[in-house]
């Protein structure tokens, strides 16, 4: 029987732990503030932003909401970020992506101070991760490492295959698995014989962005499968990049969708906010 990795439960544990830490900081007179910037009112972005604000409230982090008009110029947005970079009372800055087309996302990401880059997208944060230095780590892959560790799944020495090489999931995921001493292969759309590569994996992380793409034929008996994908199926129900029903009897552990990787992303964002304390004044 496969172990179902319960991301909802693990993320709730992490949030409880963070709540205690935040309370301890408050008792020492230290407040934590996250600035959340949303440009325009894309409904999906609004849902994510609201969930982040709710998580802040639960943990005791102050959130500053910047709801900006979708026609705001790139310069005006960069000025707001600069002002937030300089504010000593702001620990973290988050710009909800995607941004409208007239704004260069890379420029915006690079404008955020690496000391406040709680999303872990700044090139300095990415560079620090690749050379094993301290820095913020992209929340979804960081959450996956927590899921594995808190489920007592060893990474060291394991064959780890990551399918997908995006900057926010696949690449940082590969770096983190490497940091944990996994033997890491990254597969992508140009990989020859994906099935053969995926089947080598003791730990298979799937971040393809295609509903139910990975079925039992891609999975080794007894593998651990982490499904990063989130989609709505034909019945408007959530599903992942993995065909859960097809693989569940073949694997030793698996994350469901919903309730697997998804809840961990916000928990790790909150964790990054808490660990940002002190960085600004250093
Ligand atoms: P992305 O930027 O679209 O990247 C997808 C990756 O999959 C690319 O590297 C692409 O290869 C690769 N790929 C596409 N088709 C493939 C194929 N047939 N065979 C092998 N590789 C293939 O996606 P992402 O941002 O990493 O997100 C992936 C999924 O995770 C999406 O469903 C997204 O919604 C979800 N997601 C969930 C969370 C969460 O909190 N749970 C967070 C972020 C993302 P190329 O590079 O060669 O094009």
pLDDT digits (tens, 9 = 90+) for 256-281: 999 999 999 999 999 999 999 967 54
Atom number, ligand 1, closest to the C-alpha of residue 228: 30
Quick one: average pLDDT of 216-224? 98
- DSSP-derived letter for residue 192 is S
Q: What is the pLDDT of residue 278?
A: 67
Residue from 45, 185, 207, 266 whose mutation best tests the ligand 1 pocket (most atoms within 8 A of CB) = 207
Using the atom order of ligand 1, give the atom closest to the CA of residue 188: 21
Least Cα distance to 264 among 145, 163, 179 occurs for 145
The pLDDT of residue 282 is: 43
Residues recognised as catalytic: 52, 96, 119
Structural domains present in the chain: 28-115 (3.40.50.10860), 139-263 (3.40.50.720)
Tens digits of per-residue pLDDT, 157-199? 999 999 999 999 999 999 999 999 999 999 999 999 999 999 9
State what percent of residues in the chain have pLDDT above 90.
97
Instruction: Dig out the tokens for 139 from the structure.
Output: 């929340």
Q: Which helix (H) or strand (E) holds 274?
A: helix 262-275
- In angstroms, the CA 213 to CA 189 distance is 12
Mean pLDDT of the chain: 96
Measured CA to CA in angstroms, residue 165 lies from 14, 91, 120, 213 at distances of 27, 29, 16, 16
Please give the Cα distance from 149 to 236 (Å, whole number). Answer: 32
* Residue whose C-alpha is closest to residue 11's, from 216, 242, 258: 258
Ligand 1, atom 2, lies closest to the CA of 166
Task: Check residue 195 and give its pLDDT.
Answer: 98
Confidence of residue 241 (pLDDT cuts 50, 70, 90): very high
For 89, the token pair is 């009372």
Pocket of ligand 1 (CB under 6 A): 140, 163-166, 168-170, 187-191, 194, 207-210, 228-230, 241, 261-262, 265
The token pair at 18 is 């963070």
């Amino acid at each position: 029987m496969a172990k179902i990795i319960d991301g909802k439960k693990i993320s709730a544990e992490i949030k409880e732990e963070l709540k205690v830490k935040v309370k301890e900081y408050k008792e020492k007179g230290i407040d934590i503030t996250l600035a959340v910037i949303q440009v325009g009112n894309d409904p999906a972005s609004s849902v994510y932003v609201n969930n982040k604000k709710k998580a802040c409230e639960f943990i005791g982090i102050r959130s500053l909401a910047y709801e900006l008009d979708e026609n705001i110029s790139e310069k005006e947005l960069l000025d707001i970020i600069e002002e937030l970079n300089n504010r000593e009372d702001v620990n973290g800055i988050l710009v909800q992506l995607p941004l409208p087309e007239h704004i260069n996302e890379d420029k915006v990401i690079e404008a955020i101070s690496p000391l406040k880059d709680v999303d872990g997208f700044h090139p300095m944060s990415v560079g620090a991760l690749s050379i094993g230095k301290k820095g913020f780590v992209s929340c979804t892959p960081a959450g996956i490492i927590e899921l594995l560790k808190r489920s007592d799944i060893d990474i060291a020495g394991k064959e780890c295959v990551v399918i997908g090489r995006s900057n926010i999931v696949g690449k940082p995921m590969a770096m983190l698995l490497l940091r944990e001493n996994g033997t890491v292969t990254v597969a992508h759309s140009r990989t020859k014989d994906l099935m053969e590569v995926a089947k080598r994996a003791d730990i298979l992380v799937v971040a393809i962005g295609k509903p139910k793409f990975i079925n039992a034929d891609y999975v080794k008996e007894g593998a651990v499968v982490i499904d990063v994908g989130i989609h709505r199926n034909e019945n408007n129900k959530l599903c992942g990049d993995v065909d859960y029903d097809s693989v569940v009897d073949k694997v030793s552990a698996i994350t469901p969708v919903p309730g697997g990787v998804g809840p961990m992303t916000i928990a790790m964002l909150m964790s990054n906010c808490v660990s940002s304390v002190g960085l600004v004044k250093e």
